[in-house]
Amino acid sequence: MEKCFLNKRYLFCFLLTVFCLCVCTALVSQIDSGVENNTSISVESDEIAINEGSLKDLPSIEESELLFAEFYKTGKIDTEPLFVGLEKLEQELTKVQNLKGKERNIEKENQLLTLYLEYAKIVFTAYLFGSINQSFPKIHNMEKQIDVFLKRCKPNSSVCLKFADYLYARLPENRKVVFKLPVLYRKVLLQDSKNNEAKVKLACWYTFSAQETTSNTNSFIEENEALIEELSAVDRLNAYIVYSLYYMKKYNTKKGWKYLQKAEELFPSYILTERLRANYKKGILSL
C-alpha cells in the first residue's frame, strides 16, 4: 500500500484545517456542564490501568501513541485491535453510566472514556487519511457513542484533553470544532493549572491567529515553547510545524528553520514538512 501521506485528499484536509484556524475570531463553548461542576476533581495520572475482565488486554494510552506514531511514519495501521477495544469499552461504559448514586464510579468512568477517546482519535485519523474507508459504519457508531457518553459523564481534565485531541483530528471535515478547542484547553487548565500538554496545545492554537503586534498572545506562545518536548511524537510534529510557521512570520528565520528541521528529523519524508521546506525556499510562509 502506498503511503497515505502522499494522498492528496489528506493534504487538502490539512490545508483546510489551517484555513479554519486562521479565520476563527470567537470561541464557542460546547461540552456538558458537568465540566464546570467538576473542577475540584483531582488530576489522574495519564497512565490508565484497566485490569478487569475483557479490558485487561486492551492497548494502553502509551501503546496507542506508539501505534499512532508508526502510522505517521509508514502510512499503515492495523485498526482492528482498536475497534475491538472500542466495542469493549462501549459495553463497559454503558454499564458504568447506568449505575445510580454511590454505585457509579466516576473515576473509573473517566479512565474508560479517556481510553475510548484515544482510540477514537487514531481510528478517525486513519479513516480521514483514506486507510480504512470500509469502516464508515463503525466510525459513525463511534461518533454517536461519544456524544452519548459525554452528555452523561462528569469529565475530568484527562477526558477534556482527549476529547480535544479527538476534535482536532476531525477539523478537516468539521470546521465548527475549531471554536471548541481553546474552550476545552482552558477547562483542562482550570482543573489542572500545571497541565503542560494543554498549555502547549493552547499556544499552538493561538499561533494561527497571532500577529507580531499581539504581544499578550505571543508572550503565551513563547513562554510555553519549552514544553513542546514533553508531548507525544505526533503532537511534537504538529507543534514543530506550527512554531516553525510562527517564527517565520515573525521574521525569526533561524528559529523557523530550526523547528522545521526538528519536524523532519522526527518524521523523515513527511509530505507536509517537504512541502513547507519547498515553500520557504520560494518565500512562501505557509503550507
Lowest mean pLDDT of 23-27, 127-131, 231-235, name the range: 23-27
Between CA 72 and CA 3 the distance in angstroms is 9
Note the pTM of the prediction, 2 decimals: 0.81
Q: Which of the 8 DSSP states describes residue 168?
A: H
Confidence of residue 56 (pLDDT cuts 50, 70, 90): confident
What is the SS3 assignment for 77? coil
DSSP 206-270: HHTT--TT-HHHHHHHHHTGGGGGGS-HHHHHHHHHHHHHHHHHTT-HHHHHHHHHHHHHHSTT-
Q: What is the pLDDT of residue 7?
A: 47
- Give me the percent of the chain exceeding a pLDDT of 90: 66
Range 117-132 average pLDDT: 93
Question: Cα–Cα distance between 21 and 178 in angstroms, integer?
Answer: 6
pLDDT at 230: 97
Q: Which tens digits make up the pLDDT trace of 202-235? A: 999 998 755 555 777 889 999 999 999 999 999 9
Q: pLDDT tens-digit profile of 91-120?
A: 999 999 999 988 999 999 999 999 999 999
Give ∠ CA 97-35-156 in degrees, rounded to 5: 70
Amino acid letter, residue 215: S
DSSP 179: G
141: which 3 cell numbers? 457508531
d(CA 165, CA 121): 7
Residue ranges of the domains in the chain?
55-166
Over residues 246-274, the pLDDT tens digits come to: 999 999 999 999 999 999 999 998 888 99
CA dihedral 203, 208, 213, 219 (to 10 degrees): 10
